[in-house]
Amino acid sequence: MTCAIVDYSSGNLHSAEKSFQRMARETDAGPVVVTADPNVVRKADRIVLPGVGAFADCRAGLLAVEGMYEAIRERVIDGGVPFLGICVGQQLMASWGREHGDTEGFGWIPGEVVQITPSDPAFKIPHMGWNALEILVDHPVFDGISSGEHAYFVHSYHLLPENRGHLLARVDHAGEVTAAVGRDNMVGTQFHPEKSQQTGLRLIANFLAWRP
Is 104 marked active-site?
A: no
3 catalytic per annotation: no
Quick check: 171 and 128 in contact, CB under 8 A?
no
For residue 73, what are the CA distances in angstroms to 40, 42, 133, 147?
A: 13, 9, 29, 32
Beta strands in the chain (DSSP E): 3-6, 32-35, 46-49, 83-86, 94-97, 103-104, 109-115, 127-132, 134-135, 150-155, 157-161, 167-172, 176-183, 186-189
Cα 193–chain centre separation: 9
Catalytic hit among 58, 87, 127, 155: 87
Nearest residue to 68 (alpha-carbon basis) of 95, 49, 91, 87: 49
| Pairing mode of beta strands 167-172, 150-155 | unpaired
CB contact at 8 A, 20 and 46: no
Q: Check residue 65 and report its DSSP letter.
A: S
State the catalytic residues.
87, 192, 194
